[in-house]
Amino acid sequence: MDAGPRTTLVWLEGAAESAAAGVHLDGTLKRLAALGIAPHRVVARRGRSGGRLARLVRLLLDSVRQPRHGLVVVRWHPFALPALVAARLRGGACVVCAQGVLAEVEAVHPWIGRSRLMRWVALRPLFVADRVVAPSAGIARWVVEVTGRPAHEVTVLENGADVGLFAAARRAPEQPPYCVFVGNLAPWQGIGDLVAAVRQPAWPDGLRLVVVGDGVERERVLAARADGVEWRGTLDRADVAHMLGGATLALATRGAVTASARGTSPFKVIEAAAAGLPVVATDVPGQAEVVRDLGNGVVVPPGDPAALAAAAARLMADGGYRDRLRQSAVERVAAYDWTAGSDPLGAAMSAAARAVGRARWGLGRPADSMTEGLVETR
């Protein structure tokens, strides 16, 4: 990408290294570095100090400090609109990274779904942006349907992983064996299915389930400690890599909920592949395609703990099968390194940069047509 406007990154969601937003921020920085772009500013909350509201207010105030005729790249957030408006007022352009759909936002913040005005505020960045980047085809289609913008203005760019970090952690599986789930313990992650799978008769004897992450479903995990479930909380990426490197297999679940219907591009599947792990994954759009492309796992129906347990048992019982899946992961995962996605991101940014100085507001009122376009996400 040629030298262009000064670039500001805005990540209003907590971007601690162990959080999904933090992984996405680090991956975006790697992609920009591969393009030879050094951001002018990065507005993000890396630590966990202070109250959540106070941190958000500080970030919002910081996010409106935009350079004249700059380019702002924003991870979609319910309160991202001020950053985009500030960029517009300074004659700048905007790229929004939509990592999910409104149903995911509403699952964490139900009050947004109960207010027509708040839904308008949450969605408006997708209208204002010059370009939108989505991690799956399903989310890209959702953006087009909700906003009515041309499909060519939405770039599908799958998530990635720091392949070198996780590859360096590969080693012989530790004994006694364990499997790993890594992710935010959010309502759509199928945590209840994970816990129920461990209690199934088919679950392999002696196989521990280690859960890495935190969130509102933590109590479900803690309540299953007597069943061989261990909660490790949030870890930095090096520790996550070490944990995966010694595991026998990984689990990647998503619930059979609306938030999963439009697809996902899961960090956990790619990181497991980089660590050389076979994976048991639920069959939701985006995730299933990644598993099949990598050839490193077994896909089971969502909401089916018995199928999860049976797949884990099959992998534990057949070492040769595990080895074949591991080999496939090692051979194919390089295509998912963060830097492999640099060119599509650069193209989206270049297209947005051509709009610098030509304001596109897309603010409008909360129209009925917009509400109708959201029915599928409820």
pLDDT, tens only, 177-231:
999 999 889 888 899 999 999 999 999 999 999 999 998 899 999 999 999 999 9
d(CA 157, CA 164): 20
In this structure, of 95-104, 281-290, 352-361, the range with the lowest mean pLDDT score is 352-361
What is the set of domains in the chain, with CATH numbers? 7-160+339-377 (3.40.50.2000), 163-336 (3.40.50.2000)
pTM for this structure? 0.86
C-beta neighbour count of 377 within 10 angstroms: 22
The secondary element (H helix, E strand) that includes residue 94 is strand 93-97
Q: Higher pLDDT residue, 46 or 158?
A: 158
When pLDDT is averaged across residues 91-114 and rounded to a whole number, the result is 88
Q: In the predicted model, is pLDDT for residue 115 greater than 70? A: yes
The fraction of the chain above a pLDDT of 70, given in percent, is 90
d(CA 153, CA 169): 38
The fraction of the chain above a pLDDT of 90, given in percent, is 72
Task: Single out the residue of 240, 269, 241 nearest to residue 253, CA to CA.
Answer: 269
- Mean pLDDT estimate for the chain: 89
Q: Model confidence at 39, in pLDDT bands (50, 70, 90)?
A: very high
When pLDDT is averaged across residues 355-360 and rounded to a whole number, the result is 63
pLDDT of residue 23: 92
Q: Model confidence at 374, in pLDDT bands (50, 70, 90)?
A: very low
CB-based contacts of 276: which residues, under 8 Å, 6+ apart?
Answer: 167, 170, 245, 326, 329, 330
Q: In the predicted model, is pLDDT for residue 141 greater than 60? A: yes
Strand order across the 208-212 sheet: 229-233, 208-212, 178-182, 249-252, 279-282, 297-300
CA 35 vs CA 2, 29, 249, 336: distances in Å: 9, 10, 34, 17
Q: Model confidence at 377, in pLDDT bands (50, 70, 90)?
A: very low
Task: Single out the residue of 26, 336, 198 nearest to residue 211, CA to CA.
Answer: 198
